[in-house]
Amino acid sequence: MAAERPVIEAAKRFTTWNILAAVLFILLGLFAIIEPATAVVGFARLLGWLLIFGGVAHFIATLKGGSARRVLFQILSAIAFVLGGLYILTHPQLAINSLTALLAVVIVVAGVFDIITYFRLQREHPSGWMLLNGIVALLLGGLIWIQWPASSAWAIGTLVGVYLLMTGVTRLIFGLAGRRLIRHVTA
């Protein structure tokens, strides 16, 4: 029993982080649903800054040295990242339209993977939630694609909010199921 204690403690920590992440997903999803235009602008700005920081990271990587070819590719990557980030920050509407199309594809692919996961975990109790999450993702991705680009300003925030909310609920159910399993094992 003493050898199992670290495993149980690690499982408790994992489920705690999983539940906290679920709550964060739910809160972000609710915010995006309530304020979709703000959420989409914030998302575009975040992406722009992440690209700029990624470019700086690539430039710093050139300081490690290496072959001239490696350094050249790091510098070119740094320039591409920084220019992409600056472009997104200076042309937010174009970025939002492009991100809307990309998001439709990403959500559909995520939905397909959730459905595949459902069929792989079919015997598990919470797997029905995974199927529901996958179906919702397919529907949301399809709605984004059909309405693009006319509804980019509100659709991306609202639909991502619904997706984040469903993902949060799904993670919460898995985390709580893990907690029940831990209680069952330790009882």
Three-point CA angle 172, 174, 175, nearest 5°: 65
Task: Quote the tokens at residue 114.
Answer: 């959730």
Output the tens digit of pLDDT for each of the chain's 187 residues: 566 777 778 888 888 888 999 999 999 999 989 988 888 888 888 889 999 999 998 888 888 777 777 788 888 888 999 999 999 999 988 888 887 888 889 989 999 998 988 888 777 665 677 888 899 999 988 888 887 777 777 777 887 788 889 999 988 988 888 888 888 887 7
pTM for the model stands at: 0.58
Using alpha carbons, list the distances in angstroms from residue 120 to 57, 128, 134.
38, 12, 13
d(CA 27, CA 179): 21
Question: What DSSP letter does each residue of 45-107 carry, written as one string?
Answer: HHHHHHHHHHHHHHHHHHTT---HHHHHHHHHHHHHHHHHHHHHHH-HHHHHHHHHHHHHHHH
Neighbours of 187 (CB within 10 A): 5
d(CA 117, CA 83): 37
d(CA 102, CA 110): 12
d(CA 155, CA 88): 18
